[in-house]
Amino acid sequence: MGHLKLGFQNHRLHFLRFIPHSFNVSTTTFWVLNLTTTTVQNSALSYTPRSKSVIAKALTTEAAAKVQPAKMVKAIRVHELGGPEVLKWEDVELGEPKEGEIRIKNKAVGLNFIDIYFRKGVYKAPTMPFTPGMEAVGEVIAVGPGLTGRKVGDIVAYAGNPMGAYAEEQILPADKVVPVPPSVDPIIAASIMLKGMTAHYLVRRCFKVESGHTVLVHAAAGGVGSLLCQWANALGATVIGTVSTKEKAAQAKEDGCHHVIIYKDEDFVARVNDITSGKGVEVVYDSVGKDTFQGSLACLKSRGYMVNFGQSSGTPDPVPLSALAAKSLFLTRPSLMQYTATRDELLKTAGEVFANVASSVLRARVNHKYPLSQAAQAHEDLENRRTSGSVVLLP
């Protein structure tokens, strides 16, 4: 019996059998007839002669067999560590979501100081080159196979890992996103997702602020600082904030600061001592780091909490444990990722943030918007303290 090989491009062999000459064949069926004398066009057949007609039916399965070309989208890429100038606006390939993944078209991207840390190498990116960005809101435009709970058209937000928000579109694990309530505008959601959840764990979990407490918030007019002041005030605390300019002092007052210190004009340690009549504060929320760290420790009362959650001025100098002993101080360097490690924690935290936005307990100040392509300018302005409130990048 003869041997037949099939090589139809973009088709998968379904079956092969002998059939009678009278059999009616559809247009998707390929005949091999009288192979000793007939030339078969547009195929890749090789054979040895055989005595009967043969039908090889190949079902078109283009979705499985064709290699889909990768879609090109615009994104910010970092090929080397350095200043804002290393942020490059480039075309990148983006595939399709796999099992457990979704693809979103970003509507707004939040700018955070952690993006600067990765750009400069303070924090190490998992790959090089990389796309920065830890916060975005977008519309689901594709879902991976078998995925339930998310559908095309959903508006979702994410904050934290995986990094890569500085892009027109991105692929994300479905369990890392949360639904955005219809009452919350996507730009507001992008400005408050990471910062709001940071403020949440700082005042509700890291140190639980209660009525009667006195708290010190550095960078009180910044994205997180603004929310901290609002939230701590709503919880009944006396809020002291430090800022760099009179304009930022006015904003901090509006956001709930009872006392505002312009640290360029006065010693914040001495001023806090005056405000508290020498008692000190229960907790300091310090995102500045090197320039304020030692002073922050001095502002604490006995058994006070030093919460260092950033280092915009640089990494603080090492502190010997004995320095904490005089007042039995607590020192912590928390990170959002450890407070939203589980799906339940993520949903609960984001839910409380959005609920407080809806009830006007929290007001997001989106004071600056930049095209995503101008991320370098946004980074420069944030680093040089030319911004206040939240900064949003628009794809």
**Per-residue pLDDT tens digits for 111-134:** 999 999 999 999 999 999 999 999
Contact 54, 16 (CB under 8 A): yes
Q: Looking at 30-39, 176-185, 335-344, which range is the least confident one? A: 30-39
Report the alpha-carbon angle 6-9-10, nearest 5.
120
> Is residue 23 over pLDDT 70?
no
- pLDDT score for 39: 41
- Respond yes or no on whether the N-terminal peptide bond of residue 129 is cis (omega within 30° of 0): yes
Q: For strand 29-32 and strand 54-60, is the pairing parallel, antiparallel, or unpaired?
A: antiparallel
Contact 132, 113 (CB under 8 A): no
Query: How big is the chain, counted in residues?
Result: 395
> In angstroms, rounded to a whole number, what is the distance separating the alpha carbons of residues 49 and 37?
9
> In angstroms, rounded to a whole number, what is the distance separating the alpha carbons of residues 207 and 63?
53
The 10 Å CB-count burial string (b at 16+, else e) for 297-307 is: bebbbeebbbb
Q: For strand 29-32 and strand 4-5, is the pairing parallel, antiparallel, or unpaired?
A: unpaired
- pLDDT score for 381: 96
> Is residue 15 over pLDDT 80?
no
Domains 71-194+363-393 and 207-333 share a fold: no
Name the region of 291 (left: φ>0; alpha: ψ -120 to 50; beta: rest). alpha
Structure token pair of residue 255: 């956001």
Closest CA to 234 of 218, 251, 258: 258
Percent of the chain with pLDDT over 70: 83
Tell me the mean pLDDT in the region 329-347: 96
| Band of pLDDT at residue 45, cut at 50, 70 and 90 | very low
- pLDDT score for 70: 72
Closest CA to 212 of 227, 241, 232, 228: 232
Alpha carbon distances (Å) from 325 to 128, 189, 206, 282, 321 = 42, 42, 20, 16, 7
Structure token pair of residue 62: 């283009």
Structure token pair of residue 151: 């559908």
- pLDDT score for 68: 58
Residue 234: other Cβ atoms inside 10 A: 16
Contact 170, 104 (CB under 8 A): yes
Residue 374: other Cβ atoms inside 10 A: 15
Helices 343-358, 186-201: crossing angle, 10 deg rounding: 120
Residue 325: other Cβ atoms inside 10 A: 9
- pLDDT score for 349: 97
> In angstroms, rounded to a whole number, what is the distance separating the alpha carbons of residues 314 and 116?
12
**Per-residue pLDDT tens digits for 87-120:** 999 999 999 999 999 999 999 999 999 999 999 9
> Is residue 309 over pLDDT 70?
yes
Closest CA to 287 of 327, 333, 230: 333
Domain 71-194+363-393: CATH superfamily, name plus number: Medium-chain alcohol dehydrogenases, catalytic domain (3.90.180.10)
> Is residue 58 over pLDDT 50?
no
Domain ranges in the chain? 71-194+363-393, 207-333
> Is residue 50 over pLDDT 60?
no
| Band of pLDDT at residue 199, cut at 50, 70 and 90 | very high
- pLDDT score for 202: 98
| Band of pLDDT at residue 322, cut at 50, 70 and 90 | very high
Q: Which CATH architecture does the domain made up of 207-333 adopt?
A: 3-Layer(aba) Sandwich (3.40)
Query: Considering the chain, what is the average pLDDT of its residues?
Result: 86
Question: Among the residues of the chain, which ranges form H helices?
Answer: 62-65, 113-120, 186-201, 223-234, 246-254, 268-275, 293-299, 322-325, 336-339, 343-358, 375-383
- pLDDT score for 67: 52
- pLDDT score for 46: 39
- pLDDT score for 389: 87
Q: Looking at 64-78, 218-232, 326-340, which range is the least confident one? A: 64-78
Tell me the mean pLDDT in the region 243-261: 96
| Band of pLDDT at residue 6, cut at 50, 70 and 90 | very low
- pLDDT score for 57: 38
> In angstroms, rounded to a whole number, what is the distance separating the alpha carbons of residues 62 and 79?
37
- pLDDT score for 201: 98
